[in-house]
Structure 1
Amino acid sequence: MPTALQDAAVSAVLDRSFAAAEKDAITLEAFRSAVGPDRTIGDYTPAELADLAADVYMPVSREVGTLLYLLARANRPALTVEFGTSYGISAIHLAAAVRDNGAGRVITTELSATKAKAAAGNLAEAGLAAFVEIRAGDAFETLRELPGPIDLLLLDGWNQLYLPLLRLLEPQLASDALIVADDITLFPAETRDYLDYVRTPGNGYTGVEIPLDDGLDLTIRH
């Protein structure tokens, strides 16, 4: 049987979104120029970065999106949490898995109100809005209250926040929860403390780096 990713409405939204992201190179370069050659994203507050990147897709690749779908189908998470909605491309893949699994929900959070609104529109057009709750605002506030243990966590926001957000959510991680961290080679300096933490024996994690797109880290919580 066809999967939700093969649904005409889902495919149409993803095709349009990936095409728009491919044309996003000029906007992405403008963002990098705004950050400046002598500074890193770690030199800015999340709100400042959200303003700088308000028009930038920064999406997962098609391969990463498919991997997220496969992980969610195999893990069958009752609750998936995503940090960094952007325009909703990864949320669409996760929601497609929820639909095909027949159970579960996705909670995703986005600091940019503009992007949160656009993501909501894309999910509705794809026919997947019922599976996703978008929480607009600061993730350290929007994710404090969750309806249950986290079975799958996607970290796809600003990399310097991966570790503090993981530490915030640790008490809510289910046993054997999967954690996917995106863009670990794109912003290596900002991701180093996160990788050091999840690779340190005794912290309760086992993981591996996956050389897809801008680098993924796949980790399981013991």
Structure 2
Amino acid sequence: MSSLASMTNTLIEPRVRTVLDRLFGAAAEDDDTFTALEWDAVRSAGAQERADALAGVYMPISARGGDLLYALVRAGRPDTVVEFGTSFGISTLYLAAAVKDNGKGHVYGTEMSGVKVATARKNLEEAGLGGVATILPGDARRTLADLEGPIGLVLLDGWKELCLPVLRDLEPRLASGAIVVADDIDQDSMAGYLDYVRDPANGYVSVAFPVEDGMEISCRA
């Protein structure tokens, strides 16, 4: 058998593709119905209140962003992957598919909405990826506090004002060379985070990647 024939890519397996296509379709409809006015109504609420109010809203990464996450996990082969902000589990599916194809590692997602936790777990099981991913319910700064390192890859896609505090919490457990990916960097609320990871004094080599609303890819140097 050739090396090409023996390669695996769980993302193209029918059961995974079916779940991803369904979720992206629902997310596209979501974008058409959730108005800027509704966003403004919850913007000033606390993190848990926002999570509860937006329990039916997808807020996903893009498909190309998902492919990028898959590639980074396949390349880095991390033992531990952390995701801040799971929502309905679209990004988790990409991360989990990569971990499965690596034959090592585990994904730990975090989500404040109980509705989304249950749905994300169901989606992972439906895709056959439940065994390589765990969704932790509640405030990430508490649920990740006891997670052991070294952490090889982090995805920050939760509430933007919490991305930097979550990163700072995780820093003592980051592996040397760990990759940190932050989504939606075009949002004004990500300015403080970007200032931090782009300052070499804080120990990162960081670059913006042009995927949808932008991703910042930072290496813990």
Q: Shorter-chain TM-score category?
A: over 0.9
Instruction: Give the share of equivalent positions with the same residue, in percent.
Output: 50
Which residue matches 1:184? 185
1: CA distance, partners of 2:22 / 2:151: 30
Alignment root-mean-square deviation, CA: 1.3
Kindly indicate whether the alpha-carbon contact (under 8 Å) linking 1:163 and 1:194 is maintained by their aligned counterparts in 2: yes
Which residue matches 1:198? 197
Distance change in 2, residues 1:40/1:136 (3 Å): closer
Kindly indicate whether the alpha-carbon contact (under 8 Å) linking 1:205 and 1:219 is maintained by their aligned counterparts in 2: yes
1: CA distance, partners of 2:123 / 2:130: 8
Q: Under a length normalisation based on structure 1, what TM-score does the superposition of the two structures give?
A: 0.93
Q: Deviations over 1:43-86 (max 9, x none)?
A: 33111211221110011111001110001000111000000010
Kindly indicate whether the alpha-carbon contact (under 8 Å) linking 1:27 and 1:55 is maintained by their aligned counterparts in 2: no
For 1:128-207, list aligned pairs within 5 A.
Answer: 128-185=129-186, 187=187, 189-207=188-206
Once the two structures are TM-superposed, the CA of residue 28 in structure 1 deviates from its matched residue by 2.9
Is the counterpart of residue 16 in structure 1 residue 22 in structure 2?
yes
Kindly indicate whether the alpha-carbon contact (under 8 Å) linking 2:87 and 2:111 is maintained by their aligned counterparts in 1: yes
Q: Under a length normalisation based on structure 2, what TM-score does the superposition of the two structures give?
A: 0.94
Could you tell me which runs of 5 or more consecutive residues in structure 1 were left unpaired when the two chains were aligned: none
Moved more, 143-152 or 64-73: 143-152
Q: Which amino acid aligns with 1:141?
A: R
Once the two structures are TM-superposed, the CA of residue 40 in structure 1 deviates from its matched residue by 8.4
Q: Secondary structure at the match of 1:24?
A: helix
Q: Which amino acid aligns with 2:171?
A: E
Q: Which amino acid aligns with 1:174?
A: A
Which residue matches 1:34? 38
Kindly indicate whether the alpha-carbon contact (under 8 Å) linking 1:209 and 1:218 is maintained by their aligned counterparts in 2: yes
2: CA distance, partners of 1:103 / 1:2: 14
Q: Which amino acid aligns with 1:5?
A: L
Runs (4+) of structure 1 exceeding 6 A deviation are none
Is the counterpart of residue 67 in structure 1 residue 73 in structure 2?
no
Once the two structures are TM-superposed, the CA of residue 88 in structure 1 deviates from its matched residue by 0.4
2: CA distance, partners of 1:35 / 1:56: 11
2: CA distance, partners of 1:34 / 1:213: 22
Kindly indicate whether the alpha-carbon contact (under 8 Å) linking 2:206 and 2:216 is maintained by their aligned counterparts in 1: yes
Q: Deviations over 1:132-189 (max 9, x none)?
A: 011000001000011321100000101110111111111111100000000111x2x2
Q: Which amino acid aligns with 1:44?
A: A
> How many residues of Structure 1 are paired with residues of Structure 2 in the alignment?
215
2:13 pairs with 7, 19, 26, which one? 7
Q: Secondary structure at the match of 1:23?
A: helix
